[in-house]
Amino acid sequence: MKKIAIILGMLILFFTCQGWADTIDEVTVTEEAPYIVEINGTYSDGCDRDPVLLTTYLDNTIIIQIFTVPPAGDCPDGEENVFDFSLEIVPPGDDYQINVIMYRGTPRADEDVEVIDSETLEVQSDIEELEATVDINPDTINIKRKGQYINARITLSGGEHDVSDIDAETILLAIITDGEESGTVVSAQKVAVDEDEDNILIVKFDNDEVLTLIEEEVDVFPQYVIFVVKGALEDGSLFSGTDDVKVMNPGKSKSI
């Protein structure tokens, strides 16, 4: 697969931390689907880590955070150990940015979490973007609801593409509030083509994850919010579509 070379850029001031400084050496992303980000770097003390990776989507930026801690035992003196991470992404559009940030420490485990390195990849590509019609079910979501899934029915505009060509692993759900898409996304749990109707994809999202997303993004209840479902086709084309859904929180209601 073709790769786009890294454009090096510092996001945040580099810190040298307590005698060790792991580094990000190169970041690349494939030009064709599946879109795979590869991150290469060096553990400066020669020992392996057990890193925690966190990916966040924010408008046209994909933020990949890497949290590491040095091992408790002794490490070989003067030796370095390289690392290589690969993860699949859904490009947010033709032109977008990938920010990779490496920290010393892990969230909720260390009091001091410091940035030790960061790189920025500017991506310019020519990706076809398709409009989709999305129908979220139920139309009204009570965040006290019990259930296993929130469903979405997806059709692609134009009739030139078949929903069976959608890469199920790339399908994501987010909420748009105040014109901005939530950084937190929910991945599809189950995907199937509707056997009774032509060219409709049925996608199931975990109920509890969607309810958590609503609680994080919505302050006033009840109200209508915009849900966006997006993803990629096997040929690399992107799709996205929205649906207005009423959300309710009994006991925390405020008329709008």
The enclosing domain of 147 has a CATH number of: 2.60.40
Q: Are residues 170 and 214 in the same domain?
A: yes
Q: Do 235 and 137 lie in a common domain?
A: yes
Residue 18 within any structural domain of the chain:
yes
Residues 52 and 141 reside in one and the same domain? no
Contact, 211 vs 225, CB < 8 A?
A: no
Tens of each residue's pLDDT in the chain, 256 residues: 433 333 333 333 333 334 457 899 999 999 888 899 999 999 887 777 888 899 999 888 999 999 988 776 677 665 678 899 999 998 988 889 999 999 988 776 656 788 999 999 999 888 888 999 999 999 999 999 999 999 999 999 887 889 999 999 999 999 998 888 888 899 999 999 987 888 899 999 999 999 999 999 999 999 999 999 999 998 889 999 999 999 999 876 554 4
**Rounded Cα–Cα distance for residues 51 and 65 (Å):** 10
SS3 213: helix
Distance CA 144, CA 211 (A): 8
Whether residue 228 is found in the same domain as residue 119: no
Q: Is residue 255 part of a domain?
A: no
Do both 189 and 143 map to the same domain? yes
Do residues 117 and 133 share a domain?
A: no
**9 belongs to a structural domain:** yes
Mark whether 9 and 118 lie in a shared domain: yes
Residues 140 and 237 in one domain: yes
Residue span of the structural domain in which 70 resides: 3-124
140 occurs within a structural domain: yes
124, 148, 167 - which closes a domain = 124
Residues 79 and 175 in one domain: no
Decide if 116 contacts 102 (C-beta within 8 A).
yes
> Are 142 and 196 spatial neighbours (Cβ–Cβ below 8 Å)?
no
> How many distinct structural domains can be found in the chain?
2
Cα(244)–Cα(241) distance, rounded to whole angstroms?
Answer: 11
Domain annotation covers residue 253: no
Looking at the structure, do residues 146 and 241 belong to the same domain, yes or no? yes
Specify if 254 maps to a domain.
no
Residues 23 and 77 occupy one common structural domain: yes
Same domain, residue pair 20 and 80: yes
Kindly tell me the burial class for residue 232, based on how many C-beta atoms sit within 10 Å of its own C-beta (0-12, 13-18, 19 or more).
buried
Q: Is residue 137 part of a domain?
A: yes
State if pTM tops 0.85: no
